[in-house]
Amino acid sequence: MSERDGTRPTITPNDFDIFRPLNWCPGCGNYQMLSAMKAALADLGLAQHEFAIVFGIGQHGNGADFIKVQAFHALHGRALPTATGLALVNPDLRIIVQSGDGDGYGLGMGHFVHSVRRNIDIAYIGHNNQIYGLTTGQASPTSNQGMKTPSTPSGVLEEPVNPLGVALAEGATFVARAFAGDVGHMTWLFKEAISHRGFALVDVFQPCVTFNKINTFKWYRERVYKLEEADYEPDDRTRAFELAESIVHIHNEDPPEASRIPTGIFYRQEGVPTYQDGVPQLADGPLWKRAREPRDVTGVLRAFA
């Protein structure tokens, strides 16, 4: 079978393997997230050339070396601008961004807000381990209030950033949360996000087994539940916002029965025009198909010499 005769070859998760040793800490949630991404892409039937992944800075950032796709390792906080450029030049690509809580919700928060409100067609996967794992455990924007870290020895003073709430407030058309300890559920959420037309957020609680000894896999397993099993319909933005707010005020010492954490799709709205739909330069087709010949930009450069 081939794409040329109208059929597609069977894609398996192994088709995305790169035989290079992974260098994350044993037990890191990145392993499950990588497996879920490969499984999601295989289930969607996408070949390597049909999508691109932009990675931010963080422990996950070298994921570009571990999955056989078109990939880019962006500057700190700048994964979304890079992905936006790719999405505008080649809107036929499925664009995925992977970014950590320190990268995407700290330095990159401005880009996050504006990407959401533009509804640009990108699937954004947040590696949320509530700590700066790459730089040995400082508090991150999503660390719980009161959490003691090397940078906050008396405890974090602020309430954490609420990425789901920010996305909903800015008009996101797909907002979801996953738990790295449930690969099957996470795979399904990744597929739904990548298939969604518009900006799609999947924030993943992904424990850092080395520097966050509080929000562990056990801590989450005692608290997470699935919205799909709770008679919840993701069609009410106000209800989704209230649900997202309920998670922010959880404190680490709260008992499991008082700190339930929903996972699944909080909100989904289909049929909303994307940013690409309104860009006039794309009206005649993708830009990359109209730039086959090198252009002489000497005159433009001379003006700034």
Higher pLDDT, 64 or 86: 86
Averaged over 20-38, what is the pLDDT? Answer: 93
pLDDT 10s digits, 69-127: 999 999 999 999 999 999 999 988 999 999 999 999 999 999 999 999 999 999 999 99
Q: Residue 193: what pLDDT?
A: 98
3 state DSSP class of 26: coil
Q: How far apart are CA 179 and CA 206, in angstroms?
A: 6
Average pLDDT on 273-301 reads: 85
> What Rg value do the Cα atoms of the chain yield, rounded?
20
Beta carbons of 220 and 181 less than 8 angstroms apart: yes
| The pLDDT value given to residue 300 | 87
Per-residue confidence (pLDDT) for residue 94, from 0 to 100: 95
Residue 87 burial (CB count, 10 A) = 24
Q: 220-239: per-residue pLDDT in tens?
A: 999 999 999 998 999 999 99
> pLDDT confidence of 7, banded at 50, 70, 90?
low
Does residue 138 carry a pLDDT above 80? Answer: yes
| Predicted local distance difference test score (pLDDT) of residue 2 | 45
What confidence tier does 158 reach under pLDDT thresholds 50, 70, 90? very high
Partners of 94 in the beta sheet? 51
Q: How many CB atoms lie within 10 A of CB 237?
A: 17
pLDDT score of 154 more than 70 = yes
User: Average pLDDT in the 126-147 region?
Assistant: 93
Reported confidence tier of residue 19, pLDDT bands at 50, 70, 90: confident
pLDDT range class, residue 27, cuts 50, 70, 90:
very high
Per-residue confidence (pLDDT) for residue 127, from 0 to 100: 96
- 92: Cβ–Cβ under 8 A, 6 or more apart, which residues? 286
pLDDT in tens, 264-284: 999 999 999 999 999 998 888
Looking at the predicted structure, is the pLDDT value of residue 153 above 70?
A: yes
Residue 1 has pLDDT above 80, yes or no: no
Mean residue pLDDT of the chain comes to: 92
Classify 118 as helix, strand or coil: helix
Query: What confidence category does residue 5 fall into, taking pLDDT thresholds of 50, 70 and 90?
Result: low
Question: Taking the mean position of all CA atoms in its chain, how far away is CA 88?
Answer: 19
The arithmetic mean of pLDDT across residues 59-74, rounded, is 90
